[in-house]
Structure 1
Amino acid sequence: MEIATLPHVDEHTEIVTAEARTVWRGLGEVLDRSFSEGRFAGYASLVGCPDRAAAGPRPMAEGSAYPGFHVASADPDRELVLVGRHYFSTYALVFRLDQAGPGRIRLRAETRARFPGPIGALYRLLVIGTRGHAFSVRRLLAAVRRQAEHVR
């Protein structure tokens, strides 16, 4: 999947007072913990995602999977690209870690997605239009911040 061809949906940012390796480790732990809940596997199965369970190497690396996503690329301490698809959408969630000053990392989560056809448009309205997606991503970033800052 060529991520650059997917339309930009949104981007959210969290400043984390920790080193990049600590934020990276926190991101992996939060993703593992968040996506290990049974509801994600059930939802991934319901909407036809090929990735329906956590699998592959840990800590996360290319070939790792979470319900609804698989790791397309992992550049430790810098960038993680999760991609997925289902009946109503093809999407990517890109996490980037940038220096934001001494001992501070800007953790960004960019969503890109295509929602083809009328059913895709309805799905976009339900997920993106209600701000449910934005709420979930901001919550995930805050959990990574708490995890990384707690470890310090």
Structure 2
Amino acid sequence: MDISALPRIDEHTTVVAADPAAVWRALCETLDRSFTRPHAARYARLVGVADRTASGPRPLTEGSAFPGFRVAAADPGRELVLIGRHHFSTYALIFRLEETGEGHTRLRAETRARFPGPAGALYRLLVISTGGHAVLTRQLLSAVRERTS
């Protein structure tokens, strides 16, 4: 998948009071826990995601997967690139970690996605245009921040 060819949807940022190594651990644990819960797995089946079960090495590294996502690249403490596809979209979620000094790390989550056809357009309307995706992404970043406390 050519991630750079996917249209940019949004980016959300938080600052975490921890070093990049601690934020990386919290990010991997939060993602794994969030997307393997029963409701996430049901949603993954409903929309027909390519990766429906958790598999591969833990902690997350290239080739690891959980419902909805496969790790395309992992540079611990710096960047985690997740990709996925389902009936209505092809997408990437890119997490970037930047040390900001004094024991803090900026964590950014960038979403890129394509929504082909009429069904994709409707899905985009329901998930992106309503703000639901933004809310879930911000909750995910908050969960990472809380996990490092």
Same fold, TM-score > 0.5, yes or no: yes
TM-score (norm 1): 0.96
For the aligned residue pairs, the C-alpha RMSD in angstroms reads: 0.7
Give 2:75's aligned residue: 75
Give the match's secondary structure for 1:70.
strand
Q: CA deviation at 1:102?
A: 2.0
Between the aligned partners of 2:50 and 2:17, the Cα distance in structure 1 is 36
Correspondence 1:1-150 to 2 at 5 A? 1-148=1-148, 150=149
Q: TM-score, normalised by structure 2?
A: 0.98
- Separation in structure 2 between the aligned mates of residue 33 and residue 86 of structure 1, nearest angstrom: 21
Gaps of 5+ in 1: none
What's the secondary structure of 2:101's corresponding residue? Answer: coil
- Sequence identity percentage: 64
Q: Deviations over 1:58-111 (max 9, x none)?
A: 000001101010000000000000000011000000000012222111000000
The alignment of Structure 1 onto Structure 2 pairs a total of residues equal to 149
C-alpha distance in structure 2 between counterparts of 1:60 and 1:29, whole Å: 8
- Bigger shift: residues 45-54 or 112-121: 45-54
Secondary structure in 2 aligned to 1:85? strand
Greater displacement, 30-39 / 78-87: 30-39
Q: Runs of 4+ in structure 1 displaced over 3 angstroms? A: none
**In structure 1, how many angstroms separate the alpha carbons of the residues matched to 2:58 and 2:84?**
19
Unaligned runs of 5+ in 2: none
Shift of 1:32: 1.4
CA distance in 1, matches of 2:46, 2:147: 31
